[in-house]
Structure 1
Amino acid sequence: MTCLLLPPVPASVGAARRWAAPLLPPDLPPDLRDSVVLVLSELLTNAVALTTEGRAAGAEDIEVEVVVDPADGHVTVAVTDPSDQPLPPAPAAVEAGADHGRGLLLLDVLAHDHGWSPRPCGGKCVWAEFRRSTAPHRTGPRRPAAQPAGCSCA
């Protein structure tokens, strides 16, 4: 498990991508590697927007976590932010020309499993799991077998 704390500013998204890419297993298929990095970018972009929305400068940092299971090479990414705003139960329809609103659609399509949980100490953790196998994608949000550490209040 590797964690990174980032300020809730747009530049943090690129910093997180550059930080996470080398942490992924070198033999991870390129399409899966691209999916992990894209979903991490989407989760962090949402966290930055929600953290800074209606808050003064100096908002709490966002925690980004990458977990690679050594046994099977599955990758879980988690983004923890101080916002208590829950995720919608399902992705909304997005008009073709819209500039945003596709993050949950990408999460549904690219991750094998994903979910979110409120943290007892405030905020929430959103996570996505990527598997090397060709097993079908999830049938509904649920917690991963081992919840990322950033999702707790350690």
Structure 2
Amino acid sequence: MNPTSPQLNARPGSFTQLLSSTRRGARLARLLAVTELRSWDVPPSLTERAEQIVAELAANAVFHGRVQGRDFRLGLALAPTPRALRIEVTDARGDRMPVLPQPADGETGRGLLLVSALADRWGVAPYPPSGKTLWAETDLPPLNSRHESGQAAGQRL
């Protein structure tokens, strides 16, 4: 499979892509996520938060979850209940589970602190037989408030 060609969506509001465990793959994950979320008409503020979360989780997959010759997987999904955007990054290193670092730990290891600050919920789950999935969820605004804010913006133009 060519890891740079997007896979067909199994359902609307769902996206999955295998990417090379390289810096280029991590950058591509971020760009693909933004493109996909814009096509789903996700509010820009949520897209920006999701972009940063994807960047951090993909970087973790590349730098801490890499196994030679194995890709990582980016998954995005709009969940109906609770209304949330779910971001998943799966890598091949199930033996290296993440630990939330303390702010004074130095210059490295701050990615998960950012994820915990940007996401409403996050966690890690084993991905058998040998990987793990880091996931983060951000709540979507209620449909009425999105519509009303869009109307107000349209009236100001």
Selected match of 1:86 from 78, 90, 97: 97
Deviation at 1:47, TM superposition (A): 0.5
Q: How far apart in 2 are the matches of 1:105 and 1:72?
A: 23
Alpha-carbon RMSD across the aligned residues, in angstroms, is 2.2
Question: What is residue 52 of structure 2 aligned with on the other side?
Answer: 38
Task: Write the letter of the residue equivalent to 1:102.
Answer: R
Question: What is residue 74 of structure 2 aligned with on the other side?
Answer: 64
Structure 1 residues 125 and 71, CA gap change in structure 2 (3 angstroms): closer
Structure 1 residues 94 and 119, CA gap change in structure 2 (3 angstroms): same
Determine which structure has the larger helix proportion and give its number: 2
- When Rg is computed on C-alpha atoms for both structures, the one with the higher figure is 2
Task: Write the letter of the residue equivalent to 1:6.
Answer: L
Q: How far apart in 2 are the matches of 1:41 and 1:117?
A: 19
Give unpaired runs (5+ residues) of structure 2. Answer: 1-13, 143-157
Deviates more, 1:12-21 or 1:69-78: 69-78
State the percentage of identical aligned residues. 29
Q: How far apart in 1 are the matches of 2:37 and 2:88?
A: 14
Task: Write the letter of the residue equivalent to 2:55.
Answer: S
Q: How far apart in 2 are the matches of 1:116 and 1:86?
A: 8
Question: What is residue 4 of structure 1 aligned with on the other side?
Answer: 17
TM-score (norm 2): 0.71
Question: What is residue 148 of structure 1 aligned with on the other side?
Answer: none
- CA offsets, 1:124-154, max 9 Å, x none? 00000011249xxxxxxxxxxxxxxxxxxxx
TM-score (norm 1): 0.72
Q: Which has the higher contact order (CA 8 A, sep 6+)?
A: 1
Aligned with 1:80: secondary structure? strand
Give unpaired runs (5+ residues) of structure 1. Answer: 135-154
